[in-house]
Amino acid sequence: MKTIHTAAIDLGATSGRVIAGVYTDGKLDMQEAHRFPNQFHVIRERCYWDVPGLHTHIRQGLLKAKEMAPGLASCGVDTWAVDSVLLDGDGRLVFPAHAYRDERTLPYVDALAKGGVDKVYEWTGIPNQAINTSLQLQELLDLYPALPEIAQRCLLLSDYFNFLLSGVQENEISNASSTQLLEVNGTKYSRDALNFFGIPSKWFHGPSLAGKLLGKVVGIEGLEETDVVLVPGHDTACAFDAMPTDPDHTDIYLSSGTWSLVGFESDTPVAGPEAMVESVSNERIGDGRYRPIRNIMGLWLLEQTLPAFRERPRSDEEWEELIRAAEAEPAPGELIDVTDSALFNPASMKGAIDAQLQKRSIKHPESLSDYTRLICESLGAGHATAVKTFERLTGKKFDRMLIVGGGSKNRLLCQATANHSGIPVVSFSLEGTAVGNIANQLITLGAVKDLAAFRARLLGQLQKTVYEPE
Ligand code: LRH
């Protein structure tokens, strides 16, 4: 059978990578072509992404992937959700890209909570969150009333990198659904939501379903024959596509990284006032179906606590040591409330955690292993609450939780999740986002029939660890 070479360009908020996929005889091998750190930069209290830097890394990564496999058939881009760029009529950037942790949207969250939130949820199925594209654009439009004359198009970051690679401007549906501007009962942008936020409808087109060829790579010498595939632009959509779900089970999924995204696949949204109160986000799969999720703060809490400790781990061995020490700590009696907005982007995460505990008259931990135990245990409880909420709202019963992403390698987190939720947790130690990205390329190229076929093959190939509730 023919070997097919693809490259997943997978950008996360704290690191990016270009992964080369080698697909032969139904078996997928993945090799890292390029990995680089990513972070937002703060200039005069505003948070921005280094978009030109990311573009340079994408080009370098693709060239390395091409060196590894001269017959590179295709590439695809996925990124974190919600952040966007505005382009003028020539495709030129109107603003640097703002990052979603910028507090500029907080007054807009309050304003929406005071008026309109129910309507907006009814139209879009997306809850009121500071990160939403809707509020980010509303803030810019308030500051710059002439913006609609200058900006002709809004692309989420995955769409923008697709444009740089292929010359084609498309809004892809999975990332479009994170904007709070897509209608929940259809696949078009919601006129009501666009009008409500005062956002020009010309800024968004389509959106397109994932799974189409955008064209050949332009502007990178040597890649003229490589196709750019429109994969699900949202990294979480790709991660969920990679879940090697067993059709005999009723599985709930957790994509565990900077964020913990707990949810499942569905033909219908989880809508209504109760879903709104529970912050259910009706995001979309690349094929237009639903992926109701709850967005929990995730390992960001631990990543941001580390800098407060000189002994923070810097290698795999040191991480292993830290997790072992944290496992040996007694289970904490009281947990952190992981939904506390004070943990969203504090100057010091340790300080913010301590302040939360102090408010509740709880003594804060001392050592890094204590904090690690507390954070993992609290996240486990957060994951369990999300499972129970979905069971209550849908009448479903989930038998197992499948985990992919960085957190799937964290035994403490997986065990805490199993203990709190009372169901087995199955960890695949998988770079889910890159796998899902490549799966979508293979399906679009016609090498794999569909997602079900891909998952069945992947399942046969993977090692899994099962954490039973204790
Ligand atoms: C994870 C993620 C998540 C979003 C957040 C902005 O990377 O895409 O699904 O909610 O970033």
Q: What is the mean pLDDT of residues 136-145?
A: 98
CA 173 to ligand 1 center in whole angstroms: 15
For 82-112, what is each residue's pLDDT tens digit?
999 999 999 999 999 999 999 999 999 999 9
For 355-388, what is each residue's pLDDT tens digit?
999 999 999 999 999 999 999 999 999 999 999 9
* 3-state DSSP assignment of residue 436: helix
**Substitution site in 295, 297, 345 for ligand 1 pocket (most atoms within 8 Å of beta carbon):** 295
Residues with a known catalytic role: 235
The half-sphere exposure of 209 on its side-chain side, counting CA atoms within 13 A, is 10
Q: What is the mean pLDDT of residues 136-165?
A: 98
User: 401 has which bridge partners?
Assistant: 252, 425
Q: Which atom of ligand 1 is nearest to the CA of 236?
A: 9
Which pLDDT value is given to residue 460?
A: 83
Which of 71-80, 300-309, 385-394, 458-467 has the weakest average pLDDT?
458-467
Q: How does the average pLDDT of the chain come out, rounded? A: 96
Q: Which amino acid residue places its CA nearest to atom 11 of ligand 1?
A: 80
CA 366 to ligand 1 center in whole angstroms: 31
Q: Which amino acid residue places its CA nearest to atom 6 of ligand 1?
A: 81
Which of 170-184, 203-217, 418-432 has the weakest average pLDDT?
418-432
Which pLDDT value is given to residue 15?
A: 94
Which of 75-89, 141-155, 243-257, 314-328 has the weakest average pLDDT?
243-257
Q: How far is CA 305 from the centre of its chain?
A: 21
Judge whether residue 246 has pLDDT over 90.
Answer: no
Which pLDDT value is given to residue 247?
A: 75
Asked whether 100 lines ligand 1 (CB < 6 A), one says: yes
Asked whether 236 lines ligand 1 (CB < 6 A), one says: yes
Which pLDDT value is given to residue 462?
A: 86
Which pLDDT value is given to residue 415?
A: 97
Q: Which amino acid residue places its CA nearest to atom 1 of ligand 1?
A: 80
**Substitution site in 83, 126, 236, 345 for ligand 1 pocket (most atoms within 8 Å of beta carbon):** 236
CA 271 to ligand 1 center in whole angstroms: 20
Distance CA 147, CA 131 (A): 21
**Substitution site in 82, 101, 102 for ligand 1 pocket (most atoms within 8 Å of beta carbon):** 82
User: 465 has which bridge partners?
Assistant: 427
Q: What is the mean pLDDT of residues 403-419?
A: 95
CATH entry, 245-429, from 3.30.420.40, 3.40.50.720, 3.50.30.30, 3.90.1150.10: 3.30.420.40
Which pLDDT value is given to residue 219?
A: 94
Which pLDDT value is given to residue 416?
A: 97
Distance CA 126, CA 425 (A): 27
CA 236 to ligand 1 center in whole angstroms: 6
Asked whether 82 lines ligand 1 (CB < 6 A), one says: yes
Which pLDDT value is given to residue 430?
A: 83
Which pLDDT value is given to residue 245?
A: 87
* 3-state DSSP assignment of residue 248: coil
Judge whether residue 441 has pLDDT over 90.
Answer: yes
The half-sphere exposure of 267 on its side-chain side, counting CA atoms within 13 A, is 0
User: 228 has which bridge partners?
Assistant: 75, 215
Q: What is the mean pLDDT of residues 406-428?
A: 96
CA 390 to ligand 1 center in whole angstroms: 19
Sorting pLDDT into bands at 50, 70 and 90, what band is 353? Answer: very high
Distance CA 431, CA 134 (A): 30
Q: What is the mean pLDDT of residues 319-326?
A: 96
Asked whether 235 lines ligand 1 (CB < 6 A), one says: yes
In this structure, the chain runs to a length of: 470
The half-sphere exposure of 194 on its side-chain side, counting CA atoms within 13 A, is 16
Asked whether 261 lines ligand 1 (CB < 6 A), one says: yes
Distance CA 381, CA 240 (A): 21
Beta carbons within 8 Å of 173's beta carbon, 6+ residues apart: 182, 187, 206, 207, 208, 209, 210, 232, 284, 286, 288
Backbone angles phi, psi at 101, to 5 degrees: -85, 0
Q: Which amino acid residue places its CA nearest to atom 10 of ligand 1?
A: 81
Judge whether residue 220 has pLDDT over 80.
Answer: yes
What are the b/e assignments for 437-469, b being 16+ CB within 10 Å? bbbbbbbbbebbeebeebbebbeeeeeeeebee
Q: Which amino acid residue places its CA nearest to atom 7 of ligand 1?
A: 80
Asked whether 40 lines ligand 1 (CB < 6 A), one says: no
Judge whether residue 1 has pLDDT over 80.
Answer: no
Which homologous superfamily does the CATH classification assign to the domain defined by 4-235?
ATPase, nucleotide binding domain (3.30.420.40)
**CA 17 → CA 10, 172, 384, distances in Å?**
5, 21, 30
**CA 397 → CA 256, 388, 390, 417, distances in Å?**
21, 9, 9, 16
* 199: amino acid identity, one letter: I
Q: Where are the domain boundaries for CATH 3.30.420.40 in the chain?
A: 4-235, 245-429
**Pair 380, 231: CB distance under 8 Å:** no
Lookup: tokens for 318? 């040191």
* 14: amino acid identity, one letter: T
Q: Which amino acid residue places its CA nearest to atom 2 of ligand 1?
A: 80
Q: What is the DSSP letter of 172?
A: B
CA 328 to ligand 1 center in whole angstroms: 32
Q: Which atom of ligand 1 is nearest to the CA of 82?
A: 6
Judge whether residue 230 has pLDDT over 80.
Answer: yes
Q: Which atom of ligand 1 is nearest to the CA of 261?
A: 9
Is the preceding peptide bond at 52 cis, omega within 30 degrees of 0? Answer: no
CA 234 to ligand 1 center in whole angstroms: 8
Sorting pLDDT into bands at 50, 70 and 90, what band is 266? Answer: very high
Sorting pLDDT into bands at 50, 70 and 90, what band is 463? Answer: confident
Sorting pLDDT into bands at 50, 70 and 90, what band is 461? Answer: confident
Nearest C-alpha neighbor of 74 from the set 252, 202, 193, 226: 226
Asked whether 259 lines ligand 1 (CB < 6 A), one says: yes
CA 429 to ligand 1 center in whole angstroms: 19
